[in-house]
Amino acid sequence: MTKAKITNEEALAFHLEPTPGKFEIAATVPMTTQRDLSLAYSPGVAVPCEAIAENPALAYDYTNKGNLVAVISNGTAVLGLGNLGALGSKPVMEGKAVLFKRFADVNSIDIELDTEDPEAFINAVKLMEPTFGGINLEDIKAPECFIIEQRLKEEMDIPVFHDDQHGTAVICAAGLINALHISGKKIEDVKIVLNGAGAAGIACIELLKAMGARHEHCIICDTKGVIYQGRSAGMNQWKSAHAVPTDLRTLEEAMKGADVFLGVSAKGAVTQDMVLAMAPNPVIFAMANPDPEITPEEAHEVREDAIVATGRSDYPNQVNNVLGFPYLFRGALDIHARAINDEMKIACAHALAALAREDVPDEVALAYGKSLSFGRDYIIPTPFDPRLIHRIPVAVAKAGMDTGAARRPIIDMETYELSLKSRMDPTASILRGLNARARTAQSRMIFAEGDDQRVLRAAVTYQRSGFGKALVVGRQDDVKQKLEEAGLGDAVGELEVINAAITPHLDTYKDFLYSRLQRKGFDLKDVHRLAARDRHVFSSLMLAHGHGDGLVTGATRKSAHVLDRVNHVFDADAAHGAAGVTALLHKGRIVLIGDTLVHEWPDENDLANIAERAAGVARHMGLDPRVAFVSFSTFGYPVSERAEKMHLAPAVLDQRGVSFEYEGEMTVDVALNAASQDAYPFSRLTGPANILIVPARHSASISVKLMQEMGGATVVGPILSGVDKPIQICSTTATANDILNMAVLAACDIG
């Protein structure tokens, strides 16, 4: 599998487009009329102001404080880059803020403080306490980070959490719980060696001691060797607290007979000889980034019984902080916590460990392209496990309530868990799953329009993202020039450019095309022009002959024209059961609409075909299909001859005995709104529809474009379904990212 590659240009473009930065602020209340403004600001705003002044706890009811976290840094220890300063850290802090939103629906703002003075930093953060429900400290160097966090925890009445310390510690603890479970050892008995006495290392060992690890069994090493009682060189109060009486002086000596190694240090710090000297079933958490202290391959080469975790996503057992901090804050915010204490962190670790021991949902296995089950290579859940959002915060909230950290305890935990399930946007996990499937498929993707810069950028990203090989139809010199203009000149040698005029397969293609078109008014000259000069036809011929695995086209010509050209090579028309299904992604919902491409005016049998095609697309996307045949009428009223076919189509599906839910005809609000559905208790739909079958292509087009322009929906499609090979036709207004998404759909063979 090709390893994903990210260039400097791509990284900069990602942060520049479509607008600078990674998030924006959106209003949650209407702000259109004078009345709205009067309620939002003056004079209406005076009422909640006075209420909060009288009772400060009401700030959690009338403001966003209860779901707002500040990500705060001074940039003195940015990732592995060192002291970049406050402004240099801002892209990282913005990134952390969007992770809060993506994984736990926690609103977050990044704040960069331009000071290296701990007192100034502490005072600045303290003054902001009224604004936020929690503080996430980030990328502050040791030992100042210890001083800052401890003081803020003592002096503030909201959770303060330095993720570089405790985030790593929590995930490390979760993995260790399961590693010891597999190896049959108890935490109070094992000998633990930690290499790296910075913020994360100290936090890891402190949390493990809080969970039962014995002080005398824990050996810490730094760049000067073992931290022992009596050592004076390179010491501080935090290291001294973990010094032990021992004759051991080096990491090599400490590793002899060790059960557990924890590394937050540097690449190559652990040798194979050290691993050989460890106890049976050694646990090795080599968490240095970007390269671990020892790779899993190196460790397993000398010890097959080793259980190995790293900080890397391309190895099993990734110790990833995103498994912890979003859900810790979610649980803490939801009980209006005063702090995130050790019991809440330990509860988080145990909940993560328990989750890894359970059966893995099919969608997770599908997303990662492999079967996952509890064992030596799966001791920590994956970051995209959909159960995290409703399992981890519940455990954290319970622990906070049990230890008196909650201002407002949750009474009904079952309802709370259900509310967490409904918070998350399913579209992100679905797209993530499709990307993972595409990487597994490794499809050779044909990009038909190599003279378009958007298409070329999509092709480069497709290949560099590790999805497979990008085959670009065009002229070599033209492709080279356009890539250079796009700032991607270094990609010229990476892409395979196919020139229709000089391909050795042209005669074979023409013979095939002539056999299809000779009785449709096309002579040999016509066929030559189509095969050698029309990129849509040529690309389709490549696909038909197995010279590619999927095709993306349509960015430069209207879809009707492109579909006509594709039909010269494939049977992609209504008569052969093809259909176009468009996915609308909006505010956490996915709704498929069909037919948006092929059928002009379908009858009831065509509508039933379209429903079956759309249901197949939905299932490929991980959705349980619920089809509504929509009209301006609901279940026969008002009566209209034009709506009759929408009434008849479900009866056609009745005869076919399909295995998905369907109902109709009905208006769109009845199809999508659960409250409106309550008026029709006889309906066969068990919930809001996720597939709308519309009367004609014009109504489909109007619906999609109206939602796109007025509603701000993200449009994926039309997805061409019912054709022998994966072909996806883009819109002429498609961005490079839209084209890439269509390539991913083709790679997954969604149609």
Residue whose entry in the numeric block shows the structure tokens 């939905």:
618
Overall average pLDDT of the 138-148 stretch:
94
Distance CA 141, CA 136 (A): 15
Strands (E), 394-483: 445-447, 470-473
DSSP string, 277-345: TSPSS-EEEE--SSS-SS-HHHHHHH-TT-EEEES-TTSSSB--GGGTHHHHHHHHHHTTBS---HHHH
- Residue 80 annotated in ligand binding: yes
Statement: residue 459 has pLDDT above 60: yes
Residue 482: in which H helix or E strand, if any? helix 476-485
* pLDDT level of residue 1 (50, 70, 90 thresholds): very low
Distance CA 458, CA 735 (A): 9
Overall average pLDDT of the 47-55 stretch:
96
- Per residue in 121-137, pLDDT tens? 999 999 999 999 999 99
- How far does CA 106 lie from the centroid of its chain? 15
Residue 715 burial (CB count, 10 A): 21
Give pLDDT, residue 31. Answer: 86
pLDDT over 90 for what percent of the chain?
A: 78
Give pLDDT, residue 423. Answer: 77
In contact, 88 and 77? CB cutoff 8 Å: no
Give pLDDT, residue 367. Answer: 62
Statement: residue 605 has pLDDT above 70: yes
The amino acid sitting at 688 is P
The amino acid sitting at 129 is E
- Residue 152 annotated in ligand binding: no
Give pLDDT, residue 5. Answer: 67
- Per residue in 658-696, pLDDT tens? 999 999 899 999 999 999 999 999 999 999 999 999 999
- Residue 717 annotated in ligand binding: no
Statement: residue 650 has pLDDT above 50: yes
Distance CA 560, CA 563 (A): 5
- Residue 16 annotated in ligand binding: no
Residue 61 half-sphere exposure, CB side, CA atoms within 13 Å?
12
Beta strand pairing call for 218-222 and 225-226: antiparallel
* pLDDT level of residue 586 (50, 70, 90 thresholds): confident
Distance CA 430, CA 409 (A): 33
Phi and psi at residue 71, in whole multiples of 5°?
-100, 110
Domains of the chain, start order: 64-158 (3.40.50.10380), 163-423 (3.40.50.720), 439-568 (3.40.50.10950), 577-716 (3.40.50.10750)
In contact, 112 and 73? CB cutoff 8 Å: yes
Query: Which positions ≥6 away from 339 have C-beta within 8 Å?
Result: 153, 158, 159, 160, 332, 405
Overall average pLDDT of the 350-365 stretch:
86
Q: Mean pLDDT across the chain, nearest whole number?
A: 92
* pLDDT level of residue 363 (50, 70, 90 thresholds): low
- Residue 82 annotated in ligand binding: yes
- Residue 84 annotated in ligand binding: yes
Q: At what angle do helices 506-517 and 524-533 cross, to 10 degrees?
A: 130
In contact, 708 and 715? CB cutoff 8 Å: yes
- Per residue in 233-256, pLDDT tens? 999 999 999 999 999 999 999 999
- CA pseudo-torsion sign 455, 457, 459, 461: negative
Distance CA 127, CA 734 (A): 46
Residue whose entry in the numeric block shows the structure tokens 């059960």:
259
Statement: residue 427 has pLDDT above 80: no
- Residue 78 annotated in ligand binding: yes
203 burial via Cβ count (<10 Å: 0-12, 13-18, 19+): buried
Give pLDDT, residue 6. Answer: 75
Give pLDDT, residue 11. Answer: 84
Statement: residue 551 has pLDDT above 90: yes
pLDDT over 70 for what percent of the chain?
A: 97
9 burial via Cβ count (<10 Å: 0-12, 13-18, 19+): middle
Overall average pLDDT of the 162-189 stretch:
96
Beta pairing partners, 594: 581, 693
Overall average pLDDT of the 443-452 stretch:
96
In contact, 594 and 694? CB cutoff 8 Å: yes
Statement: residue 145 has pLDDT above 50: yes
In contact, 267 and 292? CB cutoff 8 Å: yes
- Per residue in 522-544, pLDDT tens? 999 999 999 999 999 999 999 99
* pLDDT level of residue 731 (50, 70, 90 thresholds): confident
Statement: residue 319 has pLDDT above 50: yes
Residue whose entry in the numeric block shows the structure tokens 């939602």:
707
- The catalytic residues are 96
Statement: residue 2 has pLDDT above 50: no
Which is more confidently placed, 423 or 703? 703
Distance CA 255, CA 259 (A): 8
In contact, 326 and 104? CB cutoff 8 Å: yes
Overall average pLDDT of the 378-406 stretch:
94
* pLDDT level of residue 369 (50, 70, 90 thresholds): low
Which is more confidently placed, 639 or 442? 442
Give pLDDT, residue 615. Answer: 95
Give me 478's structure tokens: 């033209």
Give pLDDT, residue 8. Answer: 83
Which is more confidently placed, 636 or 276? 276
Comparing C-alpha atoms, which of 139, 159, 15 is closest to residue 78?
139
- CA pseudo-torsion sign 366, 370, 375, 380: negative
Distance CA 625, CA 719 (A): 16
Distance CA 545, CA 683 (A): 47
Question: How far are the Cα atoms of 53, 61, 62 from residue 50, in angstroms, in the given order?
Answer: 5, 13, 11
- Residue 412 annotated in ligand binding: no
Beta strand pairing call for 470-473 and 445-447: parallel
- Residue 711 annotated in ligand binding: no
Number of helical (H) and strand (E) elements in the chain, helices listed first? 32, 21
* pLDDT level of residue 368 (50, 70, 90 thresholds): low
Query: Which positions ≥6 away from 116 have C-beta within 8 Å?
Result: 74, 76, 144
First vs last Cα of the chain: how many Å apart? 24
Residue 297 burial (CB count, 10 A): 9
